[in-house]
């Protein structure tokens, strides 16, 4: 599964992306179809299909994702930002590799 996963391929550098941050556990890159002036995707290097795949053993990784997302959001969107994690088809998840959207750079409307 991971071999054909779009975001695994981006993490591996097989597909190009505009990276804004990376460390040993996570990679952040610009969304290819931004819906806001700042639209960054933050993903774990390890393939996890969604939040639903997280186990208690992933607590450190989950915390790290949130901390990095908060740091990126604060740096890129000092006036405020939104974190969004679509989980499952009905929520609009289209890529089966866990990703946090970091959105900002304009006033964001209410969630629908
Ligand atoms: P979601 O709908 O929550 O699964 O979000 C998937 C996101 O991935 C969408 O916002 C897409 O625009 C974005 N996306 C799809 N392909 C790429 C790509 N090659 N590089 C960067 N972002 C992508
Ligand atoms: Zn993957």
Residue owning the nearest CA to atom 13 of ligand 1: 31
Identify the nearest ligand to the CA of 16 by its number: 1
Q: What are the pLDDT digits (tens) for 28-39?
A: 999 999 999 999
Residue 2 pLDDT exceeds 70: no
**Average pLDDT, integer, range 59-72:** 98
What is the distance between the alpha carbons of residues 76 and 2, in angstroms, rounded to a whole number? 30
Query: Tokens at residue 13, please?
Result: 């550098």
Catalytic residue from among 47, 64, 97, 99? 99
Domains annotated for the chain, with CATH where assigned, are 2-104 (3.30.428.10)
CB count within 10 Å of CB 65 equals: 24
Identify the nearest ligand to the CA of 49 by its number: 2
Quick check: is 39 catalytic? no
Residue 85 pLDDT exceeds 80: yes
């Amino acid at each position: 599964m991971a071999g054909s996963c779009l975001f695994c391929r981006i993490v591996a550098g097989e597909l190009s992306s505009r990276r804004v941050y990376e460390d040993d556990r996570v990679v952040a890159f610009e969304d290819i179809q931004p819906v806001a002036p700042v639209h960054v995707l933050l993903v774990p290097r390890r393939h996890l299909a969604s939040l639903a795949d997280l186990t208690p053993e992933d607590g450190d990784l989950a915390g790290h994702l949130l901390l990095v997302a908060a740091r990126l959001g604060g740096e890129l969107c000092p006036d405020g930002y939104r974190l969004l994690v679509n989980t499952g088809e009905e929520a609009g998840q289209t890529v089966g590799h866990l990703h946090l959207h970091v959105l900002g750079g304009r006033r964001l409307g209410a969630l629908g």
